[in-house]
Amino acid sequence: MTTTMRPRPGAVRPYEFPAVHRSVLANGVRVLVAPMPRLPLITVLALVDTGASRERPGEEGVAALTARTLTEGAAGLDGAALAARLEGLGTAIITEAEWDSSIAQFTATTDRIEAAFTLFAEVVRAPAFPARDVQRLRDERLAEITQQLAEPRGLADERFDGFLFSPAARYARAAAGTTHAVRGLDRDRVAAFHALTYRPASTTLVFVGDITSARAQKLAEAGFEGWGTSIGSGPPIAPVDAVRHAGRRTIVVAKVAAAQSELRVGHLGVPRAHPEYLTIVVMNAILGGLFSSRINLNLREKNAFTYGASSLFDWRRGAGPFVVSTAVKSDVSGRAVQEILAEIERMRDAPPTASELELATEYLAGVFPIRYESTAAVAAALARATIFGLGDEWFREYRQRIRAVTAAGVHAAARTHLDPAGVLVLAVGDPSVIDVPLRNAGIGDLTVVTADADPTEVPK
Amino acid sequence: MVKAMHLPVDEYRLSNGLHVVLSEDHATPVVAVNLWYHVGSANERAGRTGFAHLFEHMLFQGSAQVAANEHFELVQRAGGTCNGSTWLDRTNYHETLPAHQLEIALWLEADRMARLLPAMTQAKLDTQRDVVKNERRWSVDNQPYGTWWERLPALCFPESHPFHHSLIGSMEDLSAASLEDVAEFFRTYYTPDNAVLTIAGDFAAVEARAMVERHFGAIPRGTGHPPLGPTEVDDDFGEWRRAEVPDAVAAPRLFLAFRVPPAGTEPWYVASLLGAVLGTGDGSLLARTLVREQAMATAATAFTFDLTKGSDLLVLDVTGRPEVSGRLLEAAVVAVVDHLIETGVDTAAMDRARALIETSWMVSLQSATTRADRLSQFATYHGRAARVNEEMKRYAGLTPLALTTFARARLTPRHRASLLFVPSGAR
C-alpha cells in the first residue's frame, strides 16, 4: 500500500480569549463579564479572597467547612429545599475553598439564570449555617480523613506536604484541615469566619456565557448591592510556607502488602507571583509536565517502572511544593527515585534542545484555546487571574510570552529552582519490600512512619 | 427549556466502509478528531483478558511512518492533546488540536489503521505489558474498592458472557499475550469497516472530505470478524445476588446493580432517568435520604454502564460513614429503593432529574472533544451519528408513571445484585 506524506499545518486561525468587561458596585463588589454567546448557558462564579491561608492556628479547615456549608440553607429555605429548588432549575451551586480563595459557582441555561441567581446571592451573602448541617459536614470531613489513610495517592500527597513544611507553617496541614482542628469546628466558628472574610470588598462576581454586560450588571446589583459595606480589612495571610530543613531525606509511610509504591520526590517551589513564572512552567513541561516529558518517557516508556510519572509546581500565593509523582512496582522503588533525581540533575546540567523547547512551548500555546472552550473554564481562569493579580493583558499575551521563552532561560530556571541535593523523598508502600532498595539508592537518611502518624506532631 | 441543542451532522461512508461523521462549528479555532473501533474486552478470546486494552497501548508505539511515542509528541508539538480508552465493547482514540493542525491527526490515525504491524516489536510489547501491569496495580490493586469494576460485571453477567471478564485483565493473561495476538487482533478488528471517524469543530467540509479520502480511502476493507458471543440475558438474576468483599478500606461501600434494557433503546431512557431520580445531585433520593437526613453515607450516586448489547447495568453506588456497618448501609439503600417502588416517582422528582440531565448534556457539548466522541458513539452503536440530536427528546417524552412502572417491574429483590465492600481491618 502506498504511504502518504507527513502533512504540513494549514493557515493559523485567529483566536481571542473572551473580552472582559469590568465594573465595581457601590459596596466594592467587583463584577467581571465575559460574553461567550455560543450556547444558551451562563456560568456565574463568586470569588472570595479568603481561604485556608487566612485561618487562625487551631481552626484549620474552617475555610473549607464554611464553603461546604454555604448551601445548607439560605433565603428561608433549608439545605434540602435549596437543593431541590436549584436542581429543579437544572443546576447546583458548587462551593470550595482552597489555599488562597473560596468559590461558589453554578452553570444554568439562560432562561433560568434570574431564578438561580436570586438564590445564589443569598447563599453567598447570608447563609443560615444550621448547626446540625455544620456538624454533619464536619463529620463528613472527619470520615474523609479516615478514608484517606487507606488511599495511597491522596495519602502520599498529603504526607509529602506534611514532612516538607515546618509544623508551624499552614501548608504543612491539609487545606481542608486535620482531625484535631476539624473536631473543634462548629456553627459559631463557621459563621464567624464567614462574617469576617466574606465581604463585599473581597468578593468578585464573574459572569461567563450567553449574557450581556448590561444584564449581568443588573443581576449583580439586584443580588449584591444591599450587602453592607466592609468594615476593617479582614484577617491577614498566615505564615504558610516555611520548610523544615534542607538536605536529602527519605520517609517511608508504611502500607503493609501494598501492591505498588506511591512515590513523591521534591522540595519547596516558588510563589505564583514569581517573575519567572512562565519560564518555570516551560521548564517543568520539559522535565515532567507532559506525556512526552523526560521523566515520563524515562520511567514509563524506557524502564516500564510505572503507568505514568509527572512533575508539577503547585502554584499558590506562598511558595507551594515542587513535586514529582509516580506509582511504581515496589521492587524498583529505589531505581525509580534514582532516575527521577538523574532527570532533575540533567535539567540543571545543560539547556534543553531546540526541539524539546519547541515541543513544550508549542504545546502550551496550542492548547490554550482548547482549555477555554467552556464557560466554567473561562470563569475559573478569570478567578485565578483575580486572585493572583493578573491584568487583562495576561490572557491576551499568554501565547506570545510562552513562545518567547528561551533555552537559556529554561536552563537558568532549572539551576535556580531545582535542588536535587535538597529533595524530600516520600514513599507510601510496603516497608518489607521497599526499605532496602530505598536505603541502597543512596538518597539520604530513611525513616519509616505509620500511615496515621501526623507529620506536624512527629519530631523530624 | 431553552431552544434545543442541534449539532450539524454530515455523515457518509468511504468505499472501504469507514463511517465518516463531520460536524462543522466555527465558534473557536479548535478541531477534534475521534475514532471509535467497534471492539473491546468483550471480543477477547479465552485466556487473553486485558488484551483489547493492551492493544490500545500498542497503538501509541508507532506505525510504518511514525516512531514509538511519536504520536503523542507530534500531537503535542502541534499544540494538541490526545489519548485513547478501552471499554467493554469499543475502543476510542482522539486528538484535539488547533484548527490548522487537523491533517496531522488524520495522517497519524490513518497510518496506524493502515500500517501498524511493521512497527510492532517484541521489546515494545514487553514494555507496554509492564506499563499495563503497573496501570492495573495503580487503578485496581492498590486502590480502595479498586476491584469493583471487575467484580461487578463478573457478578452481573454469567461466566460465558462477553461482559463477564475483567477489562484490565489478569496478570497471567497479560503475560501470555504475544506479537501474533497483536497481528491477529489488528487484522481482525482494526479495519475501516469496523470504525467510525468523526471530525468536530473548526474546519471546512470540502477540505476535510478530501483529507479523509486521501489518508483513509486506500485502506482495504476487513475480511469480517467473529461474532460476539451471545449477550442475551434474563431481566433478573433469579434471586438476589450478593457478594461481600473484605478490603483494605476504612468505610463500607455498596454497589447495588440491576440489569436494564440495552443503552439507546426506548426503555433504557426510563432506566437512565430513574437512575438520575435516585442518584444524581444532592437532591436525589439516595443523597437526600442517606447523606443528608440519616447521615449514614458520605456519597451516593447512580450510573449506567451504557452497554448496548443484550443488557445494560444500572448501578447505585453508596459509600457509608466509617462507623456504619456494611449490613446497615445495605439495608438503608434498599429501604430507599423499596420506598420508591411503594410510593412511585412524583412529577417534581422526575422534572428535577431531567433538568439536571439537560443542563449537563449542553455543558458537556461545549467541548469539541466531547462532541466528537458522542457523534462516534451514536454512529458506532446506532448506525447514525445524527441520532445525537434526538437524545434530549427521548427524555422529554417520559412520564412519572413510566418510571414508577419500570421501578416496580425491574428493581425488585430478584433483580438485585449487591457488591458490598467492608473494612477488613488491614491497612
Residues in chain B: 427
- Strand-pairing partners, residue A266, are A323, A424
pLDDT recorded at residue A5: 80
Task: Tell if the CB–CB gap between B69 and A139 is shorter than 8 Å.
Answer: no
Residue-wise pLDDT tens digits, A178-220: 999 999 999 999 999 999 999 999 999 999 999 999 999 999 9
- Band (pLDDT 50/70/90 cuts) for residue B292 is very high
- Interval A400-418: pLDDT, tens: 999 999 999 999 999 999 9
Give Dmax over CA atoms of chain B in angstroms.
63
Coil/strand/helix, residue A10 = coil
What's the rounded Cα separation, in Å, for the pair A100 and A84?
31
Q: Do B359 and A109 count as a contact with CB atoms less than 8 A apart?
A: yes
Helix (H) or strand (E) holding A21: strand A21-24
Average pLDDT over residues B244-250: 95
Separation of alpha carbons A98 and A234, rounded Å: 17
C-alpha cell at B1: 427549556
pLDDT at A240: 83
Does residue B388 come out as left (phi exceeding 0), alpha (psi in the -120 to 50 range) or beta?
alpha
Query: Per the CB < 8 Å rule, is A297 touching B69?
Result: yes
Please tell me which of the candidates A10, A144, A306 has its beta carbon nearest to residue B134. A306
pLDDT tens digits, one per residue of B186-233: 999 999 999 999 999 999 999 999 999 999 999 999 999 999 999 999
Is A108's Cβ below 8 Å from some Cβ in B?
A: yes
User: Mean pLDDT throughout A351-380?
Assistant: 97
Q: What is the pLDDT of residue B3?
A: 58
Strand A21-24 relative to strand A30-35: parallel, antiparallel, unpaired? Answer: antiparallel
Q: Which three cell numbers stand for residue B256?
A: 447495588
Burial class (CB in 10 A: 0-12, 13-18, 19+), B12: exposed
Chain A residues whose CB is inside 8 A of the B372 CB are: none
Crossing angle of helices B179-189/B122-136, nearest 10°?
A: 90
- Cβ–Cβ below 8 Å for B69 and A6: no
The pLDDT, as a whole number, for residue A306 is 96
Cβ distance of B366 and A375 shorter than 8 Å: yes
- pLDDT score at B5: 77
Query: Residue B213: how many CB atoms within 10 A of its CB?
Result: 14
A115-150: pLDDT as tens digits: 999 999 999 999 999 999 999 999 999 999 999 999
Q: Reduced to 3 states, what is the DSSP secondary structure of residue A254?
A: strand
Alpha helices in A184-264 (DSSP H): 187-197, 213-224
Q: ipTM of this predicted complex? A: 0.96
Cβ–Cβ below 8 Å for B321 and A304: no
**What is the rounded CA–CA span in Å between residue B281 and residue B265?**
25
| Interchain CB contact of A256 with B (< 8 Å) | yes
CA A41 to chain centre: 25
Q: Is A143 on the interface with B (CB under 8 A)?
A: yes
Q: What average pLDDT does range B160-173 have in this prediction?
A: 95
Beta-carbon separation of B100 and A305 below 8 A = no
Instruction: Give the model's pLDDT for residue A231.
Output: 64
Residue spans of alpha helices (H) in A324-392: 333-349, 354-366, 368-371, 375-387
A247: amino acid identity, one letter:
G
- pLDDT tens sequence across A245-281: 778 999 999 998 899 999 999 999 999 999 999 999 9
Tell me the CA distances in angstroms from B133 to B51, B72, B373, one per residue in order.
12, 21, 27
B-contacting residues of A 57-86, CB under 8 Å?
71, 79-80, 83-84, 86
Cell triple for A165: 513544611
Q: Residue B2: pLDDT band by 50, 70, 90 thresholds? A: low
pLDDT of residue A352: 98
Give whole-number Cα distances, B217 to B59, B183, B189, B411, in Å: 20, 22, 18, 49
Lowest mean pLDDT among A36-40, A229-233, A355-359, B132-136: A229-233
pLDDT at res. B344: 98
The answer to whether A366 contacts B78, with C-beta atoms less than 8 Å apart, is: yes
**CB-based contact A109 B283, cutoff 8 Å:** no
What is the C-alpha separation between B220 and B16, in angstroms, rounded?
Answer: 6
Task: Quote the longest CA-to-CA distance of chain A.
Answer: 76
Cβ B72–A373 below 8 Å, yes or no?
no
Q: Are A305 and A332 in contact (CB under 8 A)?
A: yes
Radius of gyration for chain A, computed over Cα atoms and rounded to the nearest angstrom? 24
Residue A331 at interface with chain B, using a CB cutoff of 8 Å: no
CB contact under 8 A, B69 and A292: yes
Cell of B185: 487482533
Size of interface A-B (CB pairs under 8 A): 240
Question: pTM for the full model?
Answer: 0.96
Band the pLDDT of A445: cuts 50, 70, 90. confident
Of A374, B411, B121, A390, the closest CA to residue A382 belongs to A390
pLDDT at A438 over 70: yes
pLDDT value at position A460? 41
DSSP assignment string, A157-168: HHHHHHHHB-TT
Q: Is A382 helix (H, G, I), strand (E, B) or coil?
A: helix
Q: Count Cα neighbours of A287 within 13 Å in the Cβ-side half-sphere.
A: 35
Q: Kindly list the residues from chain A whose CB atom is less than 8 angstroms away from the CB atom of residue B80.
A: 363, 366-367, 370
Amino acid symbol at A275: P
Q: How confident is the model at residue A357 (pLDDT cuts 50, 70, 90)?
A: very high
Find the helix packing angle between B326-343 and B400-410, rounded to 10°.
130
Instruction: Please give the backbone phi and psi of residue B32, each rounded to the nearest 5 degrees, phi first.
Output: -120, 130
pLDDT(B1) > 50: no
Could you give the CA distance from residue A72 to residue A80 in angstroms, rounded to a whole number? 8
Cell numbers at A146, concatenated = 479516615
How many other C-beta atoms are found inside a 10 Å radius of the C-beta of residue A233? 9
**Residue A451: closest CA among chain B residues belongs to which residue?**
B427
* Pair B394, B216: CB distance under 8 Å: no
Is there a contact between A151 and B143 if contact means CB atoms under 8 Å apart?
A: yes
Residues B308, B264 contacting (CB under 8 angstroms): yes
Distance in angstroms (rounded) separating the CA atoms of residues A433 and A108: 52
Rounded to whole angstroms, the Cα distance separating B376 from B355 reads 25
Q: Which of B260, B283, B285, B255 is nearest to B271 (CA)?
A: B260
DSSP letters for B62-116 = -BTTB-TTHHHHHHHHTT-EEEEEE-SS-EEEEEEEEGGGHHHHHHHHHHHHHH-
Average pLDDT over residues B9-35: 97
Q: What is the pLDDT of residues A288-326, one digit of tens each?
A: 999 999 999 999 999 999 999 999 999 999 999 999 999
pLDDT classification of A238: cutoffs 50, 70, 90: confident
List CB contacts (< 8 A) between A327 and chain B.
134, 137-138, 142
Q: Does A354 touch chain B (CB under 8 A)?
A: no
Determine the average pLDDT of the residues in A351-358: 98
Q: If you average pLDDT over residues B127-132, what whole number do you get?
A: 95
Show residues of chain A in contact with B329, CB under 8 Å: none
Residue A237: predicted pLDDT: 78
Using CB atoms within 10 A of its CB, is residue A398 exposed (0-12), middle (13-18) or buried (19+)?
middle
**Alpha carbons A34 and A380: distance in angstroms, whole number:** 12
Average pLDDT over residues A345-350: 98
CA separation (Å) from B38 to B19, B199, B205, B249, B310? 12, 18, 25, 36, 16
Nearest chain A Cα to B351, which residue?
A: A88
Q: Is A151 on the interface with B (CB under 8 A)?
A: yes
The whole-number average pLDDT for the span B86-100 is: 97
Half-sphere CA count of B257, side-chain side, radius 13 A: 26
Q: Among candidates B167, B136, B135, which has minimal Cα distance to B151? A: B167
Decide if pLDDT at B368 tops 80. Answer: yes
Q: How many angstroms away from the CA of B280 is the closest CA of chain A?
A: 10
Residue B233 exposure: Cα atoms within 13 Å on the Cβ side: 29
Task: List CB contacts (< 8 A) between B202 and chain A.
Answer: 13
What is the residue-averaged pLDDT of chain A? 94
Cell of B303: 450510573
